[in-house]
Amino acid sequence: MNFLNEVAQRFPAAISFAAGRPHEANFDVALIHEYLDTYCRHLAETERRSEEEVRRTLFQYGRTKGIVHELVARNLEADEDIAVDPEAIVVTVGCQEAMVLILRALRRDERDVLLAVSPTYVGITGAARLVDMPVLPVRSGDGGVDLADLAAVVRRARSEGLRPRAFYVVPDFSNPAGETLPIEQRHRLLRLAEESDLLLLEDNPYGLFRARGGRLPTLKALDRSRRVVYLGSFAKTGLPGARVGYAVADQLVDGGTGGAPTLFADELSKIKSMLTVNTSPVAQAVIGGKLITYDYSLLRANEREIATYARNLRQVLNGLARRFPGPRDGQAPQVTWNSPAGGFFVVVTVPFRVTDQLLAQSAQEYGVIWTPMHHFYDGAGGEHQLRLSCSLLESGPLDEGLDRLAAFIRDRV
């Protein structure tokens, strides 16, 4: 995505629907101090650690799997109805490190492959590239995943001697497509994973940000047979600058020593000890303090953000509808978009080819930036689509940005 950053840097005055960064209205440096203090008080008063132990916890190298694992487990219980042994949690340097750890653990040789819906999040394809693991595309379908195609891709891969190790999926408000997997599809996906002996990597960075309808249970909450490795991020719900994420990896795996099976989390921990040793305890303490402050509920901590993202998403969807009211006399509309139930992203389909060249033109001549969807495909796909992110903008610039986008599109249809 270097080209995109470059465009953003060359045209700093352009209004950007490109970055999927969290809203900044509630950033306040004082919060970092407060969260740190809250975490230290928690160690001293609730955990009964001595002053020396508190200092050591923050300053020294620490436990490879992390120091806020118990707090994360309480958060999962509070917000997601996921009950998990804290020992099965590995706290990581953002969710990105968790992806790398998992794929590195799953990759034994060149026959191991990952499956993912196309289009997919660039973070997972990047992680797969780092560990030399091919990603086989699965067609998107009802709510995001074409389950028949998933089954077919698994069969085909196996017949070719490949080992499909896992299927990566974002069931809630996916990036880039903004899709949400319906509840029946979640159950079906779990059954299919069971029948196909496939691990599911569930990534859930946006799940709290539902804009309409009720929240659905995560795959992990429905998981009865440890089929799901759950990927969590505090980048959108905690504090992005802490760079703290985690994996829940409660699968039992062969420990390799002929002894009892061990937790997959412990295998990830061994890899982490060679990758980053441990996640900054200072950064973990900031996240821990935020979790404690809100009684372990990030739903509660993010009440304002959830409202902001819902409002922005509505504003984008209504704004598009107002600016592209559709054709008269029954013709098919030339410009369409999907209607996500939450999250950060909307996909707009246009009747012309969406290239990087056009993005540069849009930035320079119209003062508006977005993301060409073809970047989220490995190979063909998304050529007539662009992604709008609604997370960062305030209401005024968002409206102005839609005006500019509409002008850019209208000049091309």
Please give the residue ranges that form the binding site for its own copies (CB under 8 A).
Answer: 2, 21-22, 24, 27-29, 32-33, 36, 40, 52, 54-62, 93-94, 96-97, 100, 104, 123, 126-127, 129-130, 235, 239-244, 270-271, 273-283, 286
Pair 212, 342: CB distance under 8 Å: yes
Write phi, then psi, for 112 (nearest 5 degrees): -80, 130
β-pairing, 135-139 with 112-118?
parallel
Which one, 204 or 385, has the nearer CB to its own copies? 204
Q: Give me the least distance between CB of 11 and its own copies, in Å please.
A: 18
User: What is the distance between the alpha carbons of residues 66 and 87, in angstroms, rounded to a whole number?
Assistant: 10
Those residues with Cβ within 8 angstroms of residue 411's Cβ, 6 or more apart along the chain or in another chain = none
Q: In whole angstroms, how close is the CB of 282 to its own copies at the nearest point?
A: 5
Smallest distance, its own copies to C-beta of residue 188, A: 32
In this structure, what token pair is assigned to residue 33? Answer: 């101090």
Decide whether 226 or 270 has the Cβ nearer to its own copies. 270
Q: Identify the DSSP state of 343.
A: S
How distant, in Å, are the alpha carbons of 114, 121, 169, 344 from that of 162? 10, 23, 20, 35
Q: Which is nearer to its own copies, 128 or 405 (CB)?
A: 128
Give 61 or 329: the residue with its C-beta nearer to its own copies: 61
**Based on CB atoms, which residue is closest to its own copies, 61 or 159?**
61
CA-to-CA distance for 154 and 82, rounded, in angstroms? Answer: 28
194 burial type by CB count under 10 A (0-12 exposed, 13-18 middle, 19+ buried):
middle
Q: With respect to its own copies, which residue has the nearer C-beta, 183 or 277?
A: 277
Cβ 277 to its own copies shortest distance, Å: 5
Cβ 388 to its own copies shortest distance, Å: 19
Cβ-contact 398, 390 below 8 angstroms: yes
Minimum gap (Å) between residue 363 Cβ and its own copies: 20
CA distance 283 to 311: 30
Using the minimum distance from each CB to its own copies, give the nearer residue, 94 or 340: 94
Residues in the chain: 413
Q: Crossing angle for the helix pair 29-41 and 281-293, nearest 10 degrees?
A: 90
As measured in angstroms, the least distance from the Cβ of 123 to its own copies is 8
Residue 40 vs 402, nearer CB to its own copies: 40
In angstroms, the CA 14 to CA 9 distance is 10
Nearest approach, Cβ of 227 to its own copies (angstroms)? 26
